[in-house]
């Protein structure tokens, strides 16, 4: 097992929005790589592109509220040899400009870096229109696309950096609200692998984004109660690290997935598809069940939709019975 | 670049029209009216305007031609073949399994296409992005041409780009609108009125030139003139006749998305080969 070097629980956790890591990573990347350019659809501060825009005004392009143009200008910049990061809220990009992404970026095979901020219900008071829950599904359906959903701001920073060296179209999923920083500078991250953060035998908890932190909390609580959980963090949902997932499924023969998005078709869908083909075991999926979000405080909404460690613990206790 | 007389270019245009008819008949599907109407635009560009090397499609100093209305790709394939990008025999593979000449153009399959298109309204903004990349690399002497259809202007993405290009003061970009007045469901002014088209583009900050899009001399003049307009991007509204060169196809929107059958192809080729009786046809 790779040494994961997570934050020691005893030291407590700092919090920061995942999107902040993107902003930091992009700024540093801009200093190091002259080919990196950025475009934003009138949400430059909110998507954390502002520091890059101020530091490199000639490499930042304001697009206005025009997400179709955002994707296609990005495609053109990539055609000219640039590495364009294009950002908006995930509800609008890739929500509104899906066809432009499909044709001019994926089929055209232009390495545009699509950055969807404010994904998930934790967007909070803005409500359902702005809480993107289908972005993972949309992006992972596209040939050539790489789908990355970092667990915290530090990992988002690493991902932002590495995307510049990946010659494929990439989708980076970010969230608005501050969440725990549970990785460290020395926690490994590469585009592609899934990481085993806790080893266990009874059940595999497979998580992405900030839900991985909830999985860690649940795992620690459950181990006190004699249930041994294997926690797998999946920052790259596509292409999926099949070997790591299958190894775990063969060991535990029971899995539960958790993600802040629709419970079907995203991470849970990807794991289920893999399992049914190569090693069928019961897979339970936590996420939003075929409905839209609504206004509320981020924690209030996450609790309402069961996207927390408590619900994960209760669900694991329930499903573990089918093995006993 | 070789110099061609207008008469020579007209003869090349005529041969390209014949190839389009043969390709479409052989394929059994595809669009007829638009490609036939756009022949002079492509001949002017590939033979007189573009700085390009057919034997080196990825030449680093080339001008870029983006075809936004991908359904008209038969005219581009035929012109590219005539200009020396690939053998004319390959034209007969249009739309066949395994072909480089896909029903709608795919950059990854055929060098020289520059982009993948078909879904409408996306070419102008790709051209804009490319122009910005050229600016960063001090390559602004490379010019970018985008051919759009008029029905395509129904797409919101076009107008997003129409605002964006002047905002970023891009002036090495020329948009060409094939104003043939038809789209699939009928005349453009019935489906979704576009006029006053010139006023629309002017008000968005573009320099507008209107030409007879089937007149090579006018087109070439307009392209040359566009080089002198440096304070604005240029859009050339090229008024063309859909189905140009084949009497029974001209001005009939029913031919927008249909290919000729064998009898119709024979009739069309006969008409084209004799240039409506003005020249003696060569027996092929």
Is B190 near chain A, with CB under 8 Å? Answer: no
Touching A: B residues 78-107, CB under 8 Å: 106-107
Catalytic residue among A8, A62, A67, A134: A67
Other Cβ atoms closer than 10 A to B270? 11
> Does some domain include residue A6?
no
**Coil, helix or strand at residue A114:** strand
Nearest CA in chain A to B108: A108
A207 and A314 assigned to the same domain = yes
Contact call for B157 and A108, based on CB within 8 A: no
User: Quick one: average pLDDT of A296-320?
Assistant: 98
Q: Which tokens is A162 given? A: 């590495």
Q: Which of B107, B136, B163 sits opposite A58 (nearest CB)?
A: B136
Nearest CA in chain A to B115: A108
Kindly give, in sequence order, each residue whose CB lies less than 8 Å from that of residue A166, ignoring residues fewer than 6 positions away.
A111, A146, A191
pLDDT number for residue B281: 54
Q: Which of A37, A72, A84 sits opposite B122 (nearest CB)?
A: A72
CATH number where A144 lies = 3.40.50.970
Is A69 near chain B, with CB under 8 Å? Answer: yes
A133 and A264 assigned to the same domain = no
A18 and A86 assigned to the same domain = yes
A210 and A115 assigned to the same domain = no
Is A75 near chain B, with CB under 8 Å? Answer: yes
pLDDT (tens digit, 9 = 90+) per residue, A220-271?
999 999 999 999 999 999 999 999 999 999 999 999 999 999 999 999 999 9
pLDDT number for residue A235: 98
pLDDT number for residue B283: 43
A214 and A151 assigned to the same domain = no
User: Quick one: average pLDDT of A89-103?
Assistant: 98
User: Quick one: average pLDDT of A290-316?
Assistant: 98
> Does some domain include residue A223?
yes
> Does some domain include residue A144?
yes
* Orientation angle between helical segments B156-167 and A67-79, nearest 10 degrees: 60
| Average pLDDT of chain A to the nearest whole number | 97
Find chain B residues with C-beta within 8 A of A41's C-beta: none
pLDDT of residue A41 exceeding 50, the answer is yes
> Does some domain include residue A282?
yes
Contact call for A80 and B132, based on CB within 8 A: yes
A144 and A206 assigned to the same domain = no
Nearest CA in chain B to A110: B115
Q: Which of A76, A80, A108 sits opposite B116 (nearest CB)?
A: A108
**Beta-carbon contacts below 8 Å between A and B:** 100
> Does some domain include residue A190?
no
Contact call for B128 and A81, based on CB within 8 A: no
- Number of structural domains chain A divides into: 2
A84 and A166 assigned to the same domain = yes
Q: Which domain holds residue A110?
A: 14-181
A136 and A231 assigned to the same domain = no
ipTM over 0.90: yes
pLDDT (tens digit, 9 = 90+) per residue, A141-173?
999 999 999 999 999 999 999 999 999 999 999
Contact call for A79 and B137, based on CB within 8 A: no
Instruction: Confirm whether A67 is a catalytic residue.
Output: yes
A44 and A161 assigned to the same domain = yes
A150 and A219 assigned to the same domain = no
A135 and A26 assigned to the same domain = yes
A215 or A10: whose pLDDT is higher? A215
CATH number where A251 lies = 3.40.50.920
**Coil, helix or strand at residue A10:** helix
> Does some domain include residue A187?
no
Touching B: A residues 88-117, CB under 8 Å: 99-100, 103-104, 107-109
pLDDT (tens digit, 9 = 90+) per residue, B223-254?
999 999 999 999 999 999 999 999 999 998 89
pLDDT of residue A115 exceeding 60, the answer is yes
Is B221 near chain A, with CB under 8 Å? Answer: no
Contact call for A75 and B126, based on CB within 8 A: yes
Is the distance from CB of B120 to CB of A68 less than 8 angstroms? Answer: no
Find chain B residues with C-beta within 8 A of A82's C-beta: 133, 136
pLDDT of residue A186 exceeding 60, the answer is yes
pLDDT (tens digit, 9 = 90+) per residue, A70-90?
999 999 999 999 999 999 999
> Does some domain include residue A3?
no
pLDDT number for residue B14: 95
Task: Kindly report the three-state secondary structure assignment for every residue of chain B.
Answer: CCCCCHHHHHHHHHHHHHHHHHHHHHHCCCCCHHHHHCHHHHHHHHHHHCCCCCCCCCCCCCCEEEECCHHHHHHHHHHHHHHCCCCHHHHHHCCCCCCCCCCCCCCCCCCCCCCCCCCCCCHHHHHHHHHHHHHHCCCCCCCEEEEEECHHHHCHHHHHHHHHHHHCCCCCEEEEEEECCEECCEEHHHHCCCCCHHHHHHHCCCEEEEEECCCHHHHHHHHHHHHHCCCCCEEEEEECCCCCCCCCCCCCHHHCCCCCCHHHHHHHHHHHHCCCCCCCCCCC
> Does some domain include residue A5?
no
Touching A: B residues 132-151, CB under 8 Å: 132-134, 136-137
CA geometry: angle B241, B242, B244, nearest 5 deg: 65
Q: Which of the listed residues A138, A158, A181 is the one where a domain comes to its end?
A: A181
Q: Which of A37, A59, A107 sits opposite B116 (nearest CB)?
A: A107
Is the distance from CB of A135 to CB of A94 less than 8 angstroms? Answer: yes
Q: What is the DSSP string of A98-109?
A: HHHIIIIIIITT
Give residue A2's pLDDT band: very low, low, confident or very high (50, 70, 90). Answer: confident
Contact call for A80 and B160, based on CB within 8 A: no
Q: Which of the listed residues A157, A181, A205 is the one where a domain comes to its end?
A: A181
pLDDT number for residue B284: 43
For each of the domains in chain B, give its residue range(s) and CATH number, in order of start: 6-273 (3.40.50.970)
Q: What is the pLDDT along chain B (284 residues), one digit of tens a residue?
A: 578 999 999 999 999 999 999 999 999 999 999 999 999 999 999 999 999 999 999 999 999 999 999 999 999 999 999 999 999 999 999 999 999 999 999 999 999 999 999 999 999 999 999 999 999 999 999 999 999 999 999 999 999 999 999 999 999 999 999 999 999 999 999 999 999 999 999 999 999 999 999 999 999 999 999 999 999 999 999 999 999 999 999 998 899 999 999 999 999 999 998 765 566 555 44
**Coil, helix or strand at residue A206:** strand
pLDDT (tens digit, 9 = 90+) per residue, B257-280?
999 999 999 999 999 987 655 665
A173 and A281 assigned to the same domain = no
């Amino acid at each position: 097992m790779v040494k994961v070097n997570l934050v020691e629980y005893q030291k407590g956790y700092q919090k920061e929005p995942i999107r902040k890591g993107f902003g930091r990573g992009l700024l540093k990347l801009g200093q190091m790589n002259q080919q990196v350019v950025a475009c934003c659809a009138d949400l430059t501060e909110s998507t954390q592109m502002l520091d890059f825009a101020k530091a490199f005004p000639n490499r930042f392009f304001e697009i206005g509220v025009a997400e179709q143009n955002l994707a296609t200008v990005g495609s053109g910049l990539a055609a000219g040899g640039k590495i364009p990061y294009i950002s908006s809220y995930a509800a609008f990009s890739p929500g509104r400009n899906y066809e432009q992404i499909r044709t001019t970026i994926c089929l055209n095979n232009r390495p545009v870096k699509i950055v969807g901020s404010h994904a998930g219900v934790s967007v909070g008071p803005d409500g359902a229109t702005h809480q993107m829950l289908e972005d993972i599904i949309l992006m992972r359906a596209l040939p050539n696309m790489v789908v990355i959903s970092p667990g915290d701001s530090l990992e988002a920073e690493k991902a932002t950096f590495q995307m510049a060296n990946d010659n494929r179209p990439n989708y980076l999923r970010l969230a608005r609200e501050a969440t725990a920083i549970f990785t460290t500078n020395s926690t490994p991250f590469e585009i592609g692998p899934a990481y085993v953060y806790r080893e266990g035998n009874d059940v595999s908890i497979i998580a992405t984004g900030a839900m991985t932190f909830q999985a860690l909390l649940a795992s620690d609580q459950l181990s006190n109660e004699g249930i041994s959980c294997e926690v797998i963090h999946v920052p790259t949902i596509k292409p999926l690290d099949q070997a790591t997932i299958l190894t775990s499924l063969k060991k535990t023969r029971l899995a539960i997935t958790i993600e802040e998005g629709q419970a079907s078709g995203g991470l849970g869908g990807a794991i289920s598809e893999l399992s049914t083909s190569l090693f069928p075991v019961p897979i339970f999926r936590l996420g939003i069940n075929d409905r839209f979000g609504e206004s509320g405080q981020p924690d209030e909404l996450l609790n309402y939709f069961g996207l927390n460690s408590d619900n994960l613990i209760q669900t694991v206790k329930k499903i573990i019975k089918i093995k006993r | 670049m070789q110099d061609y007389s207008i008469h020579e270019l007209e003869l090349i245009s005529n041969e390209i029209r014949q190839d389009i008819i043969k390709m479409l008949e052989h394929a059994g599907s595809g669009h007829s009216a638009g490609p036939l109407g756009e022949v002079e635009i492509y001949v002017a560009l590939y033979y007189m305007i573009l700085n390009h090397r057919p034997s080196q499609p990825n030449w680093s100093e080339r001008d870029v031609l983006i075809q936004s209305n991908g359904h008209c790709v038969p005219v581009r394939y035929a012109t590219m073949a005539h200009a020396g990008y690939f053998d004319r025999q390959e034209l007969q593979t249009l739309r066949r399994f395994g072909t480089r000449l896909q029903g709608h153009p795919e950059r990854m399959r055929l060098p020289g296409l520059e982009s993948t298109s078909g879904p409408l309204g996306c070419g102008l903004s790709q051209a804009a992005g490319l122009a910005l990349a050229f600016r960063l690399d001090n390559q602004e002497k490379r010019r970018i041409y985008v051919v759009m259809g008029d029905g395509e202007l129904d797409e919101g993405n076009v107008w997003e780009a129409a605002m964006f290009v002047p905002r970023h003061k891009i002036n090495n970009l020329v948009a060409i609108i094939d104003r043939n007045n038809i789209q699939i469901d009928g005349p453009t002014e019935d489906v979704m009125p576009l006029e006053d088209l010139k006023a629309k583009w002017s008000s968005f900050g573009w320099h507008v030139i209107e030409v007879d899009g089937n007149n090579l001399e006018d087109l070439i003049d307009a392209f040359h003139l566009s080089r002198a307009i440096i304070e604005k991007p240029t859009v050339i509204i090229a008024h063309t006749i859909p189905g140009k060169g084949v009497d029974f196809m001209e001005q009939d929107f029913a031919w927008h998305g249909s290919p000729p059958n064998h009898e119709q192809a024979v009739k069309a080729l006969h008409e084209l080969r004799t240039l409506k009786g003005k020249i003696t046809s060569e027996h092929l």
